[in-house]
Amino acid sequence: MAEPLIIAVPKGRILAEAQPLLARAGVRPEAAFFDENSRALRFATDDSGIELIRVRAFDVATFVAHGAAQLGIVGSDVLAEFAYPELYAPVDLRIGHCRLSVAEPAALAANDDPRGWSHVRVATKYPHVTAAHFARRGVQAECVKLNGAMELAPTLGLAPRIVDLVSSGRTLKENGLVEVEVIAEVTSRLVVNRAAMKTRGAVVPLVEAFRRAVDVVA
């Protein structure tokens, strides 16, 4: 009997948005999958040939690129940061809408013009995307790598600016920061391991099922 296909799905806010999409694609996980309090990481579905794993957003791409999972749901921000050649991203799932932006303290922004920057120091978990963005503008970027609590960087003197995902902007506002430049619009994508797409016959039909699931609400 063939090993089940593994789909990697990120924890957090995307999980709720992915639920109806998975259902429309014919993937119906056990109830515990959508329980944020569950500490389980691997879950069955009503199809014995498909299982799900729930991992950190940045780890989805790693699991799929290295073949531990054959498919995954991951933000375009992660794909841009890591650029795994082993990954194919055939479907924009149109969930997880947000943007990758530069933000700084409101007091600094009051008299600041990003068009005049020649050098910036930023805290971010996207150093490659950030450096490439500023390089295209002829700006030298010094990136301080952080994995979380980005909003603390300006207030504690680690870096005067941050680059992070922004959705409603509420977190920025609550920490005295304002958005001053958008680097990229972000949505979640279906990613597939390229080797698995060639060797696992069930992968392509599943990709098409996700494509149809997106088209239903297009």
Distance CA 192, CA 90 (A): 8
What are the CA-CA distances from residue 19 to residues 9, 15, 53, 77, 199 (Å)? 10, 6, 14, 21, 28
The pLDDT > 90 percentage for the chain reads 85
176-185 pLDDT, tens per residue?
999 999 999 9
Q: What pTM value is reported for the model?
A: 0.91
Mean pLDDT of 37-63: 93
Q: Residue 217: pLDDT above 90? A: no
pLDDT of residue 19: 92
The pLDDT > 70 percentage for the chain reads 99
Distance CA 153, CA 176 (A): 12
138-158 pLDDT, tens per residue?
999 999 999 989 999 999 999
111-137 pLDDT, tens per residue?
988 889 999 999 999 999 999 999 999
Distance CA 218, CA 210 (A): 13
Which domains, and CATH codes, for the chain?
5-96+187-216 (3.40.190.10), 98-186 (3.40.190.10)
Q: Residue 1: pLDDT above 70? A: no
pLDDT of residue 218: 59
Tokens 């391991």 correspond to what residue? Answer: 193
Mean pLDDT of 8-14: 91
Q: Residue 206: pLDDT above 80? A: yes
Which residues are CB-contacts of 97 (< 8 A; sequence separation ≥ 6)? 167, 185, 186, 187
Contact 29, 44 (CB under 8 A): yes
pLDDT of residue 35: 86
55-101 pLDDT, tens per residue?
999 999 999 999 999 999 999 999 999 989 999 999 999 999 999 99
Q: Residue 2: pLDDT above 90? A: no
Mean pLDDT, the chain, as a whole number?
94
Pairing of strands 119-124, 161-166: parallel
